Amino acid sequence: MFASGARLIIGMDEVGRGALAGPVAVGVCAISVADDFPEGLRDSKLISAQRRVALDPLVRAWGACAVGEASAAEIDELGITRCLGLAGHRALVALHELGVPVAEGVVLLDGKHDWLTPVLNSPLNVVTRIKADQDCGVVAGASVVAKVWRDEIMVSLAAEHPEFGWDGNKGYGAATHMAAIAEHGPTEWHRRTWLRGNPDTASRIDSDGDALPDSRDET
């Protein structure tokens, strides 16, 4: 892209899209020169948690980085695609507040669908690329900072709700997580619309979307 005249490339990637609990997060990483990226940088899904944590400060030193989020409640209300855009927009606003001239950059999204443009107040130069998280260091960097950021949130929430095992499953549909939802019911951090269609968890949610009472809590 630099060879084609781009002055600023902003890589963007999401994490937590398929989780049952917690926010969806979108990371951005912006570079203005084609410097070599940190050694070992790859898509966050392809490296260990320990390696991601080690890479996070290196990525942030290499490029300007930020993360935006959309909450579980917003996902229930607006749907995941809209919330990807909202989280991406929030990440770009944070990047702008760091002094990055976002409007002058090329925004590179992983995948083939542009979920960002529909939520923007002003159009940006958005380019989609399949497997950009694997082929482009700036998108891989965005995925790493977003993954580390969201993992830290889920670990902190696990201290409040240890029964769901979020420090391990990070809010995804692991068997132990599903069993805990069925036993205890959803929290405010769960995407309740996603649970209604699952026979293992739907019985814990009433027709209004509220958790059914747990008889063990009755006095």
Per run of 10 residues, the mean pLDDT along the chain (length 219 residues) is: 70 96 98 81 85 96 97 97 98 97 95 95 94 89 96 97 97 95 96 79 46 25
Look at residue 98 and give its three-state secondary structure.
Answer: coil
How many CB atoms neighbour CB 113 within 10 A? 10
pLDDT at 6: 63
pLDDT at 219: 19
**Of 9, 34, 12, 14, which Cα lies nearest the Cα of 102?**
9
What's the predicted TM-score (pTM) here?
A: 0.87
pLDDT at 202: 55
Q: Which residues contact 38 (CB under 8 A, 6 or more apart)?
A: 55, 58, 59, 62, 141
The DSSP bridge pattern shows strands 9-15 and 125-129 to be unpaired
C-alpha atoms less than 13 angstroms from C-alpha of 4 in its C-beta half-sphere: 6
pLDDT at 218: 23
